[in-house]
Amino acid sequence: MLIIGSGAAGNSLALKLPKNTSVGLISKTELHEGSTYYAQGGISAVLSKIDSIDQHVEDTMESGAGLCKEDIVKSVAKESKDIVDWLLEQGVKFTKNESSSSDKLHLTKEGGHTYPRIVHAADKTGEAIQDSLISKVKENSNIELFTHHVAIDLITTTEVNTNKKKCVGSYVLNKKTNLIDIFQAKFVVLATGGANKVYLYTSNPDTSSGDGIAMAYRAGCDITNMEFMQFHPTCLYHHKAKSFLVSESLRGEGGKLLLPNGEPFMHKYDSRGVLAPRDIVARAIDSEMKIHGFDYVLLDISHKDSSFVKKSFPNIYKKCLEFNIDITKTAIPVVPATHYTCGGINIDINAKTNIKNLYAIGEVAHSGLHGANRMASNSLLECIFFSKKVLEDIKKCEGEKHCSINSDLKYSRNKKISEEVIIKHSWKEIRTLMWNYVGIVRTNERLLKAKIRVSMYKKEIEDCFNKNVISSDLIELRNLIYIAEIIITSALTRKESRGLHYNLDYPGTNEKASDTVININVKNNIKLYQEK
């Protein structure tokens, strides 16, 4: 099996596979680098007596603004306790409840949740999970690690009997040697994370360039609901901070959102105040900044006991101190930044795509769990839930023969080396365009202008890709322009405002909720349709 991506989704699947299964695990950089490692908040699970599976489902469905798949939401919520137990078995050290003499885990509350149900490891949950999983992965002799390798494209064949596409591997660039190899596999799993680097400001690491989604799109997969890009409401505003995320759990523990003059404002937008779902909070902050001309708003937890703040948020406290901000004494300047890709490669309950033997798990996939807006801390839960579903599904295909690849490497090495300045310029231009024209609040005029510009960039980048030696930067730039095109086309298709997609030309919400699905394998290159 070939697993492309080494975050919580990819690592947990590698660990769940039988020890007699040969696994190749591809990582763009080092194993720890990726969105999982930087996740602060936690993982949502029903562990409290006052909570219930039904309430978790209801909260998720409400946050998803009518586009969640209820059967998926119920299945994931029911598994939440078992998933936390499995992580404990892998050695993840979650924060315990000190007020209890028992061994119970501490639960905090985040936006959209009715009750405290966020299991966490202080404010570095992703790091704790990733470190534990990586440690276990390295102990397994059946898992071969390929760090500093970048997948370029998927390799597919067409079955004679069914005329159905089948994935048989991937072209992969070895960044250390700059050589391209063919990785063959009976099953291929995309676990490459999201596409938030398509925007100028993001809480995500540089690896989040939408590689898996772009590769799957080019291969012929259905891509669903990519207009729903989640902006985290609170990222540190500082010219040297690189959009450091300030966890939602800080608001869950009493943090206040204020204008720079000290006035609260969230009560004007939602009765839940600072703990409203992320789309509402992000739009509220964006609105106040535009109305008053502010560059940022304030997130204040300095009214809480100093020792409580330092113990609850050690990572945030330490990071802010690097920029001379003592959060026990002063408020944190914050702005929204892209944080999570709610759409992605369309999958079913077994994580299967519409291409045979190709699966997608984690943020790269659209499972129906998040709908039009992800509820906080459901993402890590989703990663591990669908890794189990892949395992269950491939067991049904044990007798199937592996199809070998009978083609030469299609990427010629006899090309000139592209100038890095061109790549860097295009990268910045695209991300700035997306931020200014396809941001938190949209209009048809801005979207149409963005579509024209992206179309021009795409031709230039494809030409550059075909004529030059392939590098990691060029691969990511190519994927980035495909992602931009998909987001814009999806946003233009949705004639309403729902969840994370807010269009001033269509401020109302349609009575009937529907998905936006895009597929490249049709006439005129792109197909758009609304699916029930």
433, 323: one domain: no
Domain-embedded: residue 498: yes
Beta-carbon contacts of residue 200 (< 8 Å; ≥ 6 apart): 428, 431, 432, 434, 435
**465 and 415 in contact (C-beta within 8 Å)?**
no
511, part of any domain: yes
Torsion (CA) 131, 211, 42, 374 in degrees, nearest 10: -170
Contact predicate 15/138, CB 8 Å:
no
Report if residue 431 sits inside a domain.
yes
CB 183 within 8 A of CB 24: yes
Domain-located, residue 312? yes
Q: Give domain status of residue 139, yes or no.
A: no
**Residue 391 counted as domain residue:** no
Cα–Cα distance list, 187 to 144, 309, 491, 525 (Å): 15, 46, 32, 27
139-148, 240-249, 286-295: which range is least confident on average? 240-249
Query: Assign residue 371 a region: left if phi > 0, alpha if psi is -120 to 50, beta otherwise?
Result: left
Residue 241 lies in a domain: yes
- The CATH code of the domain that includes 418 is 1.20.58.100
- Can you tell me the mean pLDDT for 66-71? 97
Q: Which residue has the tokens 């006439």?
A: 523
Q: Which 3-state string (H, E, C) describes 98-131?
A: CCCCCCCECEECCCCCCCCCEECCCCCHHHHHHH
CA-based nearest residue to 203, from 176, 243, 263, 259: 243
End residue of a domain, out of 309, 337, 365: 337
**What pLDDT does residue 395 have?**
87
Which domain CATH number covers 269?
A: 3.90.700.10
Burial code of 414-441, b = ≥16 C-beta within 10 A, e = fewer? Answer: eeeebeeeebeebbeebbebbbebbbbe
Query: Number of folded domains in the chain?
Result: 2
Considering the domain architecture, whether residues 416 and 521 belong to the same structural domain is answered as: yes
Task: Return the number of other C-beta atoms located less than 10 Å from residue 359's C-beta.
Answer: 28
Q: What number is the average pLDDT over the span 131-155?
A: 95
pLDDT of res. 160? 80
What was the pLDDT predicted at 524?
Answer: 36
Region 141-169: what's the mean pLDDT? 93
Which among 337, 366, 387 is the end of a domain?
Answer: 337
Do 421 and 527 belong together in one domain? yes
Q: How far is CA 232 from CA 80, 218, 432, in A?
A: 23, 29, 18
Residue 364 binned pLDDT confidence (cut-offs 50, 70, 90) = very high
**Catalytic residue flag (residue 117):** no
Give 248's pLDDT tier (boundaries 50, 70, 90): confident
Residue 250 located in a structural domain: yes
Catalytic, out of 117, 218, 272, 278: 278
Same domain, yes or no: 514 and 429: yes
Task: Indicate the SS3 state at residue 379.
Answer: helix
Q: How far apart are CA 509 and CA 471, in angstroms?
A: 43
Q: Around Cβ 310, how many Cβ atoms within 10 Å?
A: 14
Same domain, 320 and 431: no
Residue 124 makes CB contacts below 8 A (sequence gap 6+) with 40, 314, 315
Q: What is the mean pLDDT of residues 402-407?
A: 61
Residue 206 to residue 30: CA distance in whole angstroms: 12
* Pick from 126, 122, 140: nearest CA to 8: 126
- Output the pLDDT for position 421: 79
pLDDT of 530 > 60? The answer is: no
Domain boundary among the residues 337, 352, 374 is at 337
443 is in which domain, residue-wise?
Answer: 411-531
- pLDDT bin (cut points 50, 70, 90) of residue 406 is low
531 — pLDDT class (breaks 50, 70, 90): very low
Q: String of b and e for 323-355 (b: at least 16 CB within 10 Å)?
A: eebebbeebbbbbbbbbbbbbbbbbeeebbbbb
| Mean pLDDT, rounded, for 76-90 | 96
User: 362, 7 in Cβ contact below 8 A?
Assistant: yes
